[in-house]
């Protein structure tokens, strides 16, 4: 008997597949990784899966944040809708921007509004900026959320490839003139997911000048900005004139081990902040004030980020040294928790067609999970957020990676 299809199937918007929503047999990269992990664990039930694929911290928020949340959650005045408000978090964010990034003088009333995480802000902003036919300049490989929503509003995405030769910074002069005349927004993300690359002041200066000259908005996704291994973190807003063209998105997620708390902020150009606030007001009702206040208390402790960064730096050193022994051209980035390495072409005579192939092989044969990127060359992203109880355990995990790869002859050309 053929079961009758629900009329609901006919009602879906084209942007999510229309009538064919849910029927695609295409399996996306992250789903493939999940399936491969499940299969590998089923094949080796007693094996330890070493997960270098996760894109979030392995530890919980620091005790002072958790304590503050408990106290604030108990206060009746924090119970209601927060809307775009919460002066405590705005003020704390202004001080943090000055202390950590040397960005002074942000107005807490007009130049900063919280977000329910950077992802939420990236999904809200296209509604404020994108008309059908508008072009968004996005770096690839990268975090796709702004581009996905821009397309849903009828916008087009122009890919700016990030290559090793250019230190994973986009070539702004490579954009064709007809694309540039229709372009409205340039989305940047440094330190970068997945390449781990950092921007330089010079690059941000060029981006601001380029935006001004071509009448573009710059959206700087700074989700990893505070997580640097040496030197001072860099904000595009520290560049003269940046506030005329740019907004920056910050997040509690990575710099304070608070991914699940869902809090960040948008700051910079007041007109853009107001437009974000206007769409946000029609999208969500603000993050719980107890979370905002606990995060305000947390932002007064940048040393938390220093401790987290020191841990990633230490793990990065171990992993880089380990991979180099096997011929990987692993180079420690200056920020984020991502190590981005060129994928091998073969392992002990077995040829790989793509980074995805390598990643599948590593999970299946070695129980090591990574994230492959084939958008601009074949690369693997390894995250140092792997689970380890302490420093000795970190060394054990990396030694275990070395043991599992022992005897494999990788070929890179």
End-to-end CA distance of the chain: 55
Q: Does residue number 143 form part of the binding site for ligand PLP (CB under 6 A)? A: yes
Q: Which stretch binds ligand PLP (CB under 6 A): 112-120, 274-282, 303-311, 404-412?
A: 112-120
Q: Which stretch binds ligand PLP (CB under 6 A): 30-38, 116-124, 168-176, 356-364?
A: 116-124
Task: CB nearer to ligand PLP: give 122 or 368.
Answer: 122
- Residue from 214, 238, 259, 278 touching ligand PLP (CB under 6 A): that is 259
Q: Which stretch binds ligand PLP (CB under 6 A): 10-18, 117-125, 292-300, 321-329?
A: 117-125
- Residue from 57, 117, 196, 335 touching ligand PLP (CB under 6 A): that is 117
| d(C-alpha 147, C-alpha 100), whole Å | 29
What order do you get walking across the sheet with 350-351 strand by strand?
350-351, 346-347, 410-411
Instruction: Please count the other Cβ atoms lying within 10 Å of the Cβ belonging to residue 348.
Output: 9
Backbone angles phi, psi at 69, to 5 degrees: -65, -45
Residue whose token pair is 């960040």: 264
Crossing angle for the helix pair 355-366 and 29-43, nearest 10 degrees? 20
H/E run at residue 137 = strand 135-140
String of contacts with ligand PLP for each residue 31-60, x by CB under 6 A? ------------------------x-----
Task: CB nearer to ligand PLP: give 84 or 251.
Answer: 251
- Residue from 90, 114, 119, 293 touching ligand PLP (CB under 6 A): that is 119
Backbone angles phi, psi at 295, to 5 degrees: -75, -35
Task: CB nearer to ligand PLP: give 221 or 357.
Answer: 221
- Residues numbered 262 to 281 that lie near ligand PLP (CB under 6 A) are 264
Crossing angle for the helix pair 87-101 and 302-325, nearest 10 degrees? 50
Tokens representing 130 are 């994108």
Q: Does residue number 118 form part of the binding site for ligand PLP (CB under 6 A)? A: yes
- Residue from 139, 235, 253, 370 touching ligand PLP (CB under 6 A): that is 253
Q: Which stretch binds ligand PLP (CB under 6 A): 92-100, 115-123, 207-215, 388-396?
A: 115-123
Burial tier of 45 (Cβ tally within 10 Å: 0-12, 13-18, 19+)? exposed
DSSP string for residues in 199-260:
--HHHHHHHHHHHHHTT-EEEEE-TTTT-BSSS----GGGSTTGGGTEEEEEEHHHHTT-GG
Q: Does residue number 196 form part of the binding site for ligand PLP (CB under 6 A)? A: no
- Residues numbered 300 to 339 that lie near ligand PLP (CB under 6 A) are none
**Nearest CA among 147, 148, 230 for reference residue 191:** 230
Closest approach, Cβ 262 to ligand PLP, in A, equals 7
Closest residue to ligand PLP in the complex (CB): 117
Task: CB nearer to ligand PLP: give 311 or 366.
Answer: 311
Tokens representing 401 are 């990676």
Q: Does residue number 223 form part of the binding site for ligand PLP (CB under 6 A)? A: yes
> If you compute the radius of gyration of the chain from its CA atoms, what whole number of angstroms results?
22
Q: Which stretch binds ligand PLP (CB under 6 A): 83-91, 113-121, 272-280, 400-408?
A: 113-121
Please answer whether residues 52 and 368 qualify as being in contact, where contact means their C-beta atoms are separated by less than 8 angstroms: yes
Please tell me the count of residues contacting ligand PLP according to CB under 6 A: 13
Residues binding ligand PLP (CB under 6 A): 55, 117-119, 143, 189, 193, 221, 223, 251, 253, 259, 264
């Amino acid at each position: 008997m053929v079961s009758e299809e629900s009329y609901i199937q006919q009602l879906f918007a084209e942007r999510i597949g229309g009538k064919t929503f849910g029927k695609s047999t295409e399996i996306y990269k992250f789903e493939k990784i999940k399936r491969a992990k499940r299969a590998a664990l089923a094949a080796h039930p007693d094996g330890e899966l070493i997960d270098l694929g996760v894109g979030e911290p392995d530890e919980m928020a620091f005790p002072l944040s958790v304590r503050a949340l408990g106290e604030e959650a108990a206060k009746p005045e924090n119970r209601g809708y927060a809307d775009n408000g919460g002066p405590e978090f705005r003020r704390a964010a202004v001080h943090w921007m000055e202390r950590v990034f040397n960005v002074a003088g942000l107005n807490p009333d007009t130049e900063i509004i919280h977000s329910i995480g950077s992802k939420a802000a990236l999904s809200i902003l296209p509604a404020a900026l994108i008309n059908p036919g508008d072009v968004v300049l996005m770096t690839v490989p990268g975090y796709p959320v702004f581009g996905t929503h821009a397309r849903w509003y009828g916008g087009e995405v122009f890919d700016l490839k990030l290559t090793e030769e250019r230190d994973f910074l986009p070539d702004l002069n490579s954009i064709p003139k007809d694309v540039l005349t229709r372009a409205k927004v340039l989305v940047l993300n440094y330190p970068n997911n997945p390449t781990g690359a950092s921007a330089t002041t010079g690059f941000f200066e060029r981006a601001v000048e380029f935006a001004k000259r071509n009448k573009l908005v710059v959206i700087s996704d700074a989700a990893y900005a505070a997580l640097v291994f040496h030197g001072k973190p860099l904000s595009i807003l520290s560049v003269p004139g940046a506030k005329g063209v740019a907004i920056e998105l910050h997040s509690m997620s990575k710099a304070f081990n608070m991914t699940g708390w869902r809090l960040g902020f948008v700051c910079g150009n007041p007109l853009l902040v107001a437009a974000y606030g206007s769409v946000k007001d029609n999208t969500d009702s603000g993050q719980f004030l107890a979370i905002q206040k606990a995060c305000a208390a947390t932002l007064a402790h940048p040393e938390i980020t220093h401790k987290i960064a020191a841990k990633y730096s230490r793990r990065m050193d171990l992993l880089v040294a380990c991979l180099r022994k096997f011929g990987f051209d692993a180079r420690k980035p200056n920020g984020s928790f991502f190590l981005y390495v060129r994928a091998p072409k073969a392992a002990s005579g077995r040829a790989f067609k793509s980074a995805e192939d390598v990643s599948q092989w590593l999970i299946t044969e070695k129980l090591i999970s990574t994230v492959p990127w084939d958008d601009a060359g074949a690369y693997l992203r390894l995250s140092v957020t792997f689970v380890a109880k302490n420093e000795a355990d970190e060394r054990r995990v990396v030694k275990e990676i070395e043991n599992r790869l022992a005897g494999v002859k990788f070929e890179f050309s």
